[in-house]
Amino acid sequence: MKTYLIISQIIYLLFIIPWLFIWGISFMAFDSGVSAGAILLVTIIGVYPLVAIASSIMAWVFHKRKARAAAILNLMPLLWVLGIGGPVFYINVF
């Protein structure tokens, strides 16, 4: 379990590098004016590091008592990686 937590959290840390670029260009959503959709987009993208840190802390707290809960909590940042990274990867590759 410890190995899984360490490896997955290193991967989440490595995703901070492309996240900086994606978060920076997400502000282009405001080019056509301020809207609820643009604010929501920037907020969803911008909260990734907070979710990664919070889920890492909670996973380490639960890893001895509730290993399954720790594994599930540790997968939360993957929602951002797949939800944002998947379409970006698809657009750039195909």
pLDDT tens digits, one per residue of 22-54? 899 999 999 988 999 899 889 989 999 999 999
Q: Are 72 and 62 in contact (CB under 8 A)?
A: no
DSSP string, 45-74: HHTHHHHHHHHHHHHHHHTTT-HHHHHHHH
Task: Kindly state the percentage of the chain with pLDDT values over 90.
Answer: 37
**Which amino acid, residue 82?**
L
Burial profile 69-93: b = 16 or more Cβ within 10 angstroms, e = fewer: ebbebbebbbebbeebeeeeeeeee
